[in-house]
Amino acid sequence: MDGTVQVTRGPDLTTAALHGLLRLRVDVFVVEQRCAYAELDGRDLDAGTVHLVIGPAEAPEAYLRLLTEPGGERRIGRVCTAAAARGRGSSRRLLVEALREVGDAPCVLDAQAHLTGLYGGFGFVPSGPGYDWDGVPHVPMRRPSGSAGPTVSREEDIGT
């Protein structure tokens, strides 16, 4: 894998690319983490949705989804890396590219609790109390407008 991040807008997803990203998300979140939740939320094909992928579209190795919420706020979600591709810094590359898309605007995400340090290195801070999402502790986080890029120098990769 060369680590190149491909960016696709929701309406431009091919059937093969949509299938590939959904398969990766289900493999990581539903199967590996044993979380039975509604992965298909109807937002993948929205005009304001941006998909960032590393690897071939039909079999991505890492993925991140960037949504535009009502009111224009940006939301990072569904960050995942295939088990066989972890430890290569893929999630960091996806986050860097997502934040380039966001620019200086504020951005939010819901981090798995053990990953708050990673997201903190990108300027995100906790924005509310932690909560349980299907047995996985999460923390809402926000990156205020005008935040700097990553402050963490070491390469990290996340599987969720």
Could you tell me if 87 and 114 are in contact, meaning their C-beta atoms sit under 8 angstroms apart? no
pLDDT tens digits along 29-63: 776 767 666 667 778 888 889 999 999 888 899 99
- Residue 116 token pair: 């708050």
Residue 151 confidence (pLDDT) above 50: no
Q: Give the pLDDT mean for 55-83.
A: 90
Residue that the structure tokens 């986050």 belong to: 95
Q: What is the reported pLDDT for 55?
A: 92
Distances (CA, A) of 3 to 88, 89, 94, 115: 8, 8, 9, 21
At 156 the pLDDT is: 42
Q: What is the mean pLDDT of the chain?
A: 84
Structural domain boundaries in the chain: 5-143
Contact 144, 68 (CB under 8 A): no
pLDDT for res 150: 56
> What are the tens digits of pLDDT across the range 80-120?
889 988 899 999 999 999 999 999 899 999 999 999 999 99
Indicate whether 141 pLDDT > 60: yes
Question: pTM of the entire structure?
Answer: 0.80
Q: Looking at residue 116, what is its pLDDT?
A: 94
User: Which of these ranges, 3-7, 24-28, 76-80, has the smallest mean pLDDT?
Assistant: 24-28
Name the E strands within the chain.
5-9, 50-54, 62-68, 74-81, 107-112, 125-126, 131-133, 136-143
Radius of gyration of the chain (CA): 15
Beta carbons of 51 and 7 less than 8 angstroms apart:
yes
Distances in Å between the Cα of 25 and the Cα atoms of 78, 80, 124 are 7, 7, 23
Q: What is the dihedral of CA 57, 30, 39, 44, to 10 degrees?
A: -10
Class of domain 5-143: alpha beta
